[in-house]
């Protein structure tokens, strides 16, 4: 119990420190790109601080897997440096026992990561989207009569909606274009409206005209002022304005149940639901892949290969998992496979590596090299 508490506390401390350092570095790089726009919008230092605070949870989500790997590597390296690993192994504790001692700390990181993914990050992203909207409004005010701003596009069911200007926290849209599409993805009509406003839980179009492109009523124009029958909400508008918008597990499930507007193909939401569970468990895989670092011997430079193996395996896991997740989000592979394949595959690799070490793989190799040196010396 004392060993588990000692190793778990050390792991959590070092992993959180590594995560914060990585997130702060990413924050600085992000501010380099966006601080100018914030200042131009007249928000000043306060706006920069608000932006940094709202961006931090999203950056922590991305940084925590690598932070867990670095924290586990540092924990094992420090224990090895102080000869504590040697003492543990001399007492009969194998590599798997050491991993089990670190597992409670890994579960603490999993809980923190899950909370960030499904609770903190989506809420911060929603507030960040409002701040971006206000910045867009200020930019629009400066550029009125000069040139059009970049058009925002989003998918609402099978239809495509675009708008040029947004205000009132996503409740007022300017220069709206609605492209109605059939089941075959072919556009059947286009509606152009000067403005769309959100009132009493529904959108109302003004200055709207609908052009039919169906074969029976080709180019027939009708007035489309009035209530716009759509499932889109101001939250969807804010999400479209934020390029790294995160969707909570509850929102993804509502989309799959048909209770909320899908802005992407269904495999995207199916993969996202699976990733809410798979991504935090990847932290345990990171700790497992870091276990060879326990073999580091500070008196033998060649033992650094164990640290290198753990680091390369962890980075390989991040790359593979990211690629498979992207393939799942885009529907190239089944959502379940895209979300879980990387986690399962590298967990197996980590387990096999720990079993090799516990079976004396490292000892046998050292003995072979020692016998080879003796033979060369005798010759």
Q: Where are the domains of the chain?
A: 2-139+264-378, 158-230
Q: How many H helices and E strands in the chain? A: 11, 9
pLDDT given for residue 257 in this prediction: 75
Helix (H) or strand (E) holding 222: strand 220-223
Q: What is the distance between the alpha carbons of residues 100 and 11, in angstroms, rounded to a whole number?
A: 12
The tokens for 253 are 């499930």
pLDDT-derived band of residue 148, with 50, 70 and 90 as boundaries?
Answer: very low
Choose among 181, 164, 153, 178: nearest CA to 239.
Answer: 153
pLDDT for 240 beyond 80: no
Is residue 109 within 8 Å of residue 61, measured between CB atoms?
A: no
pLDDT given for residue 48 in this prediction: 87
34: how many CB neighbours lie within 10 A of its CB? 15
> Per the CATH hierarchy, to which homologous superfamily does domain 158-230 belong?
Lipopolysaccharide (LPS) transport protein A like domain (2.60.450.10)
pLDDT for 346 beyond 90: yes
- DSSP states of 148-175 as a string? PPPPEEEEETTEEEEESEEETTTTEEEE
- DSSP states of 184-204 as a string? TS-EEEEEEEEEEEEETTEEE
Is residue 183 within 8 Å of residue 202, measured between CB atoms?
A: no
pLDDT given for residue 86 in this prediction: 75
Angle at 142 between CA 138 and CA 145, to 5 degrees: 130
Exposed / middle / buried, residue 334 (Cβ in 10 Å: 0-12, 13-18, 19+)? middle
Asked which of 47-51, 60-64, 66-70, 152-156 is least confident by mean pLDDT, the reply is 152-156
Angle at 97 between CA 91 and CA 103, to 5 degrees: 140
Summarised one tens digit per residue, pLDDT across range 315-342 is 999 999 999 999 998 889 999 999 999 9
The tokens for 276 are 């809410």
Is residue 212 within 8 Å of residue 219, measured between CB atoms?
A: yes
Mean per-residue pLDDT for 346-358?
90
Q: What is the distance between the alpha carbons of residues 173 and 300, in angstroms, rounded to a whole number?
A: 66
pLDDT given for residue 146 in this prediction: 43
- Rg for the chain (alpha carbons), in Å? 27
Say what percent of the chain tops pLDDT 70. 83
pLDDT given for residue 253 in this prediction: 77
pLDDT for 144 beyond 60: no
State in Å, rounded, how far the first CA of the chain is from the last one: 52
Mean per-residue pLDDT for 39-57?
84
- Tell me how far CA of residue 209 lies from CA of 218, 225, 241, 273, in angstroms: 14, 7, 25, 39
């Amino acid at each position: 119990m004392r060993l588990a508490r000692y190793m778990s506390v050390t792991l959590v401390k070092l992993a959180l420190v590594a995560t914060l350092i990585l997130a702060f570095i990413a924050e600085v790089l992000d501010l380099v790109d966006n601080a100018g726009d914030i200042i131009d919008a007249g928000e000043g230092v306060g706006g920069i601080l608000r932006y940094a605070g709202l961006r931090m949870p999203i950056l922590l989500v991305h940084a925590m897997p690598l932070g867990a790997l670095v924290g586990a590597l540092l924990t094992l390296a420090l224990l090895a440096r102080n000869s504590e690993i040697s003492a543990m192994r001399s007492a009969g504790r194998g590599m798997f026992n050491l991993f089990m001692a670190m597992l409670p700390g890994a579960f603490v990181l999993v809980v923190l990561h899950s909370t960030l993914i499904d609770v903190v990050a989506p809420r911060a992203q929603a507030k960040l989207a409002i701040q971006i909207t206000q910045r867009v409004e200020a930019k629009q005010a400066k550029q009125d009569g000069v040139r059009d701003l970049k058009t925002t596009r989003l998918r609402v069911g099978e239809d495509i909606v675009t708008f040029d200007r947004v205000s009132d926290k996503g409740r007022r849209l300017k220069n709206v274009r609605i492209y109605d599409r059939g089941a075959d993805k072919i556009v059947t009509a286009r509606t152009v409206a000067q403005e769309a406003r959100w009132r009493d839980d529904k959108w109302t179009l003004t200055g709207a005209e609908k052009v039919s492109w169906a074969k029976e009523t080709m180019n027939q124009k009708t007035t489309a002022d009035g209530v716009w029958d759509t499932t889109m909400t101001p939250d969807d508008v804010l999400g479209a304005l934020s390029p790294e918008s995160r969707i909570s597990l509850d929102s993804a499930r509502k989309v799959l149940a048909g209770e909320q507007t899908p802005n992407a193909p269904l495999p995207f939401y199916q993969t996202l639901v699976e990733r809410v569970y798979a991504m935090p468990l990847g932290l345990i895989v990171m700790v497992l892949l870091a276990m060879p670092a326990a073999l580091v011997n500070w008196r033998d430079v060649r033992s650094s290969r164990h640290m290198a193996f753990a680091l390369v395996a962890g980075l390989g896991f991040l790359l593979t998992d990211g690629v498979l997740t992207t393939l799942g989000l885009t529907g190239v592979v089944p959502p379940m496979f895209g979300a879980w394949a990387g986690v399962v595959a590298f967990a197996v690799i980590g387990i096999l590596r720990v079993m090799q070490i516990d079976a004396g793989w490292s000892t046998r190799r050292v003995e072979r090299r020692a016998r080879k040196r003796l033979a060369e010396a005798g010759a």
